[in-house]
Amino acid sequence: MRKSALALLFAVVTTASAAVTTAIPATANTFGFYAWHPTWCCPKTDNRDVYWNASTLTTNMLYAADYGMANLDYQTDLRIGGYDSSAGTHTDVVMFDAYYVDYWGKDWDGSSTGKNLTGSTKCVRVLAQIGGEYTCDRAELRFDLADMTNTTVRRKTACHEIGHSIGLGHTNLTSCMKAGTSTTATYSSHDRSHINGAW
């Protein structure tokens, strides 16, 4: 008999929580999501050619964003489809920066959580696929200008949020997908195997 979606979800959650206390490899991170609606992090992108727009970014952040997109193309089987001078219906990734305080209901300066937020990604157009998987047709990336103080942090954060936008979760490895103070602005081989396994 076919398992219900709920039973399947329970099985996944049980496996994940068991793994935390046993031997989850330090390299493991998630890629994409199944069985529930992931408005936030990180359903995988629904297409291989990634079109992006960042027409309102400040100049230095735009350089870092461009670096991040070029790196995604260079390191993985995903490709830059093109840069859209304005966001259209086929644009996959749209980037913004500002001095955020409570945007998206998040605590950007860490005043209430004690955890400073430098960037955030949200899938604003989620697609349901056959088999219970969700993919992301369009993601919005937000960078907090209060934190984007040098090239290293701008490139790392661009790499990190772009990674979320195409489906990558956090990792402990040396990768821009490591949360916190990592200065790495590239993806690990584990990140790449997730992406290249899908594309």
Between 97 and 147, whose beta carbon lies closer to Ca ion? 147
Between 1 and 114, whose beta carbon lies closer to Ca ion? 114
DSSP-assigned letters across all residues of 44-99: EES-SEEEEE-TTS-HHHHHHHHHHHHHHHHHSS-EEEEE-SS--TT--EEEEEE-
Between 18 and 77, whose beta carbon lies closer to Ca ion? 77
How many binding residues for Ca ion (CB under 5 A)? 12
Residue from the set 43, 46, 134, 169 that interacts with Ca ion by CB under 5 A = 46
As measured in angstroms, the least distance from the Cβ of 30 to Ca ion is 20
Neighbours of 139 (CB within 10 A): 28
Q: Is 191 in the site for Ca ion (CB under 5 A)?
A: no
As measured in angstroms, the least distance from the Cβ of 26 to Ca ion is 26
CB 120 within 8 A of CB 142: yes
Residue from the set 47, 58, 60, 184 that interacts with Ca ion by CB under 5 A = 47
Residue 100 half-sphere exposure, CB side, CA atoms within 13 Å?
A: 21
Chain residues 52-111 in contact with Ca ion, contact rule CB under 5 A = 73, 79, 92, 108
Structure tokens at 149: 């103080």
Q: What is the DSSP letter of 108?
A: T
Q: Is 116 in the site for Ca ion (CB under 5 A)?
A: yes
R_g (Cα) of the chain, nearest Å: 17
Q: Which positions touch Ca ion (CB under 5 A)?
A: 46-47, 73, 79, 92, 108, 116-117, 137, 144, 146-147
